[in-house]
């Protein structure tokens, strides 16, 4: 496949920004369009973590993808002159004795997740943390400042004349002057992907920024809900996960719900001040893998790059590389685990 004259990237959230940087570092021309719709990236906590806490398993290709993510974001930091990548360990508070025993067994070695896990003694915990069944630590974790990343990227491309406030949908076809369209609209792509039998789900989530009355330490504490320390001494708290809310709406009951959950992991509780409350819609697939690559024989210019869900920061640079490699003909197609053909409902019309 010959190199395209110019690639149109639709959407300027996390996915769109990473695809733009992938093209930029390869010296390939592109333009980015956005209609200004709210994006999940605008309110994302941006956490990265190699462990799935529900069953204490390693995330999909966690080590390789997270290493690639750190390398790419450090490279972007140098280009933009901003700090984006923050290494912050996670303290996982155990919910019961069975979970504690499983964690300790896997932390001892011999399991694919073992290298990421550390068992802790009570004296290892910050004085603010309550963990009656114990706790463990994942050191190789942290967060990306996603809003700063997307905003700074947007301004970079705007200053170069490569960003435009304009919408796009599949009905518009491939605009003149472009050979390909990379769809990074997130939930904005739901209707167009449905045309090909692909279901992208809206996962509604809300987060808070709070100011506790006392020091909560400098590590993220996770007890299903999480409290992430920010550089200014405040904490980000989240998140909710709902499939029945189709708009990025801040629900009145959410602050009390999140704070009640977070309070269960604190030795003392003085209701913190809620400074901010935000909501967004995460684009997710049933199997928690993205939708990448060319999706239509009748629309050969159209490539999808969406559905990153809650692990967008960890997997994003790898996903951006795969889709650009497929676009450029460097690989025949994106890997099977993210290709649309994995869905039985997929139709290449």
Per-residue buried b or exposed e for 261-300, using 16+ beta carbons within 10 Å of the residue's own CB: bbbebbeebeebeeeebbbbbbbbbeeebbbbbbbbeebe
| Position 128 pLDDT exceeds 70 | yes
Secondary structure of residue 267 in the 3-state scheme? coil
H or E element at residue 106: helix 97-107
Neighbour tally for 74: CB within 10 Å = 11
Q: Does domain 202-281 have CATH number 3.30.9.10?
A: yes
**Under 8 Å between Cβ of 92 and 265:** no
- Mean pLDDT, residues 119-147: 97
pLDDT per residue as tens digits for the range 256-303: 999 999 999 999 999 999 999 999 999 999 888 999 999 998 999 999
Q: Shortest CA distance to 207 belongs to which of 234, 231, 186? A: 234
CA dihedral (313, 315, 316, 322) in degrees, to 10, reads: 170
| Sheet (strand 302-306) strand order | 163-165, 30-34, 7-10, 180-183, 302-306, 291-294
**Under 8 Å between Cβ of 134 and 100:** yes
Q: Shortest CA distance to 207 belongs to which of 31, 46, 17? A: 46
pLDDT per residue as tens digits for the range 280-292: 999 999 888 999 9
In whole angstroms, give the CA distance from residue 18 to residue 96. Answer: 39
In whole angstroms, give the CA distance from residue 183 to residue 167. Answer: 11
pLDDT band of residue 2 (cuts 50, 70, 90) is low
Task: Domain 7-41+163-200+286-342: give its CATH code.
Answer: 3.50.50.60
CA dihedral (93, 97, 101, 106) in degrees, to 10, reads: -30
pLDDT band of residue 348 (cuts 50, 70, 90) is confident
Share the mean pLDDT of the chain.
94
For residue 336, whether the previous peptide bond is cis, meaning omega lies within 30 degrees of 0, is no
Using CA atoms, how far residue 22 sits from 162, 199, 207, 251, in Å, is: 14, 26, 29, 37
Q: Could you tell me the pTM of the whole model?
A: 0.94
Concatenated DSSP letters for 194-230? Answer: HTTT---EEEEEEEEEEE-SS---SSEEEESEEEEE-
Domain boundaries, the chain: 7-41+163-200+286-342, 47-144, 202-281
Concatenated DSSP letters for 21-85? Answer: HHHHHTT--EEEEE-----GGGT---EE-SEETTTTEEPTTHHHHHHHHHHHHHHHHHHHT---E
In whole angstroms, give the CA distance from residue 202 to residue 285. Answer: 9
- Residues sharing a CB contact under 8 Å with residue 108, sequence separation 6 or more, in sequence order: 114, 119
- Residues forming beta bridges with residue 278, ordered by sequence position: 207
pLDDT per residue as tens digits for the range 24-83: 999 999 999 999 887 788 778 899 999 999 999 999 999 999 999 999 999 999 999 999
């Amino acid at each position: 496949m010959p190199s395209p004259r110019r690639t149109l990237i639709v959407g300027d959230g996390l996915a769109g920004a990473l695809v733009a940087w992938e093209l930029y570092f390869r010296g390939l021309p592109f333009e980015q369009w956005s209609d200004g719709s709210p994006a999940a990236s605008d309110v994302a906590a941006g956490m990265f973590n190699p462990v799935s806490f529900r069953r204490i398993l390693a995330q999909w290709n966690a080590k390789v993808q997270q290493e690639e993510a750190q390398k790419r974001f450090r490279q972007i930091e140098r280009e933009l002159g901003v700090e984006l990548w923050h290494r912050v360990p996670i303290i996982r508070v155990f919910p019961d004795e069975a979970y504690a025993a499983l964690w300790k067994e896997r932390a001892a070695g011999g399991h694919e997740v073992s290298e990421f896990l550390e068992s802790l003694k009570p004296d290892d915990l910050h004085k603010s943390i309550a963990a009656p069944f114990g706790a463990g630590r994942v050191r190789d974790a942290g967060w990306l400042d996603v809003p700063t990343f997307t905003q700074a990227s947007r301004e970079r491309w705007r200053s170069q004349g490569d960003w435009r406030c304009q919408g796009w949908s599949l009905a518009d076809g491939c605009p003149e002057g472009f050979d390909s369209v990379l769809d990074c609209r997130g939930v904005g792509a739901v209707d167009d992907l449905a045309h090909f039998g692909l279901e992208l789900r809206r996962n509604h989530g809300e987060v808070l920024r709070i100011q506790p009355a006392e020091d909560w330490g400098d590590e993220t504490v996770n007890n299903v809900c999480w409290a992430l320390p920010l550089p200014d001494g405040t904490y980000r708290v989240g998140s909710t996960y709902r499939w029945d809310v189709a708009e990025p709406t801040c629900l009145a009951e959410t602050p009390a719900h999140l704070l009640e959950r977070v309070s269960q992991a604190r030795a003392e509780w003085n209701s913190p001040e809620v400074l901010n409350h935000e909501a967004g819609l995460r684009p997710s697939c049933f199997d928690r893998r993205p939708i990448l690559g060319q999706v239509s024989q009748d629309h050969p210019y159209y490539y999808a790059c969406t559905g990153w869900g809650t692990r967008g920061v960890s997997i994003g640079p790898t996903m951006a590389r795969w889709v650009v490699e497929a676009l450029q003909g460097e690989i025949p197609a994106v890997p099977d685990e993210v290709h649309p053909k994995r869905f039985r409902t997929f139709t290449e019309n």
